[in-house]
């Protein structure tokens, strides 16, 4: 089914600035009169937040990679039917912190399960609903992880504490997705100042929203 709203996802390695920038973008779009729904994955609604806790809990070191991939897909399915799709059907702008590309980059590429296999289980989970535009916050994993160390008070989760080699594969995985989805994925150099990154993201999204409005 064709969306009436507009679906934006943000993607990238840990500490790239996705949450900070997209929150600022959301505020700006709301000020301009857009009806915006901010959400995140895994999570965004009660069932998916519970699944998030299971996936990211540091105690669950024995979790099998395919179990992990299925849990992300299950959380995505419930979030989509309960929150994202109804908002799109109502004509809203949905800004989602991470979506399917996270699974393709982390589970498909970095965990080594394979992008095609992860795509297949996610197609089962989400049907035809894909983001209209995805902003890929590209950054050296070392820089992103250092930002988290320096600024965030949040506890490091089970994925944060993976090796630097894993996080480098995540970045490579993301960059390989740009070739697969060149129209949808827009890469932004997230190592720049917050102000510049925000302006670049705003300009991309504003241009898209003007086209559909």
Ligand X SMILES: Nc1ncnc2c1ncn2[C@@H]1O[C@H](COP(=O)(O)OP(=O)(O)OP(=O)(O)O)[C@@H](O)[C@H]1O
**Among 3, 84, 98, 79, CA closest to 36:** 84
* Rounded CA separation 161/119 (Å): 25
Label residues 104-125 b or e (16+ Cβ within 10 Å = b): bbbbbbbbebebeebeebbeeb
* Rounded CA separation 173/105 (Å): 5
**Among 17, 26, 16, CA closest to 209:** 26
Label residues 163-192 b or e (16+ Cβ within 10 Å = b): eeeebebbbebbeebbeeeeebbbbbebbe
- Residue 210 annotated as part of some ligand binding site: no
Looking at residue 24, the DSSP 8-state letter turns out to be H
Least distance from C-beta 110 to ligand X, angstroms? Answer: 14
Task: Identify residues 23-52 at the interface with ligand LXEULUCI (CB under 6 A).
Answer: 41-42
User: Of ligand LXEULUCI, ligand X, none, which one does residue 171 interact with (CB within 5 to 8 Å by kind)?
Assistant: none
User: Of ligand LXEULUCI, ligand X, none, which one does residue 159 interact with (CB within 5 to 8 Å by kind)?
Assistant: ligand LXEULUCI
Report the residue number, 5 or 42, with the smaller CB distance to ligand LXEULUCI: 42
- Residue 14 annotated as part of some ligand binding site: yes
Report the residue number, 15 or 108, with the smaller CB distance to ligand X: 15
Interface region with ligand LXEULUCI, contact rule CB under 6 A, candidates 20-28, 95-103, 132-140, 180-188: 95-103
Residues that bind ligand LXEULUCI (CB under 6 A): 14, 41-42, 72, 97-98, 102-103, 106-107, 159
* Numbered residues of the known binding site for ATP: 12-19
Residues that bind ligand X (CB under 6 A): 12, 14-20, 147-148, 151-152, 193-194, 197
């Amino acid at each position: 089914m064709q969306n009436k709203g507009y679906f934006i996802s943000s993607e990238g390695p840990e500490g790239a600035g996705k949450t900070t920038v997209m929150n600022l973008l959301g505020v700006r779009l709301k000020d301009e009169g857009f009806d915006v729904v901010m959400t995140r994955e895994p999570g965004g609604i009660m069932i998916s937040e519970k699944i998030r806790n299971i996936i990211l809990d540091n105690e669950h070191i024995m979790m099998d990679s395919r179990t992990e991939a299925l849990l992300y897909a299950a959380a995505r399915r419930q979030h989509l039917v309960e929150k994202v799709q109804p908002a799109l059907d109502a004509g809203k702008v949905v800004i989602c912190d991470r979506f399917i590309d996270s699974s393709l980059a982390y589970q498909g590429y970095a965990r080594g399960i394979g992008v095609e296999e992860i795509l297949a289980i996610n197609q089962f989970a989400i049907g035809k609903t894909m983001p209209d535009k995805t902003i890929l916050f590209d950054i050296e994993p070392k820089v992103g992880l250092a930002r988290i160390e320096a600024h965030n008070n949040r506890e490091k989760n089970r994925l944060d504490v993976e090796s630097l080699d894993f996080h480098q594969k995540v970045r490579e995985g993301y960059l390989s997705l740009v070739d697969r989805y060149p129209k949808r994925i827009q890469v932004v150099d997230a190592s720049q100042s917050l102000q510049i990154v925000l302006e670049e993201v705003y300009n991309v999204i504003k241009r898209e929203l003007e086209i559909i409005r």
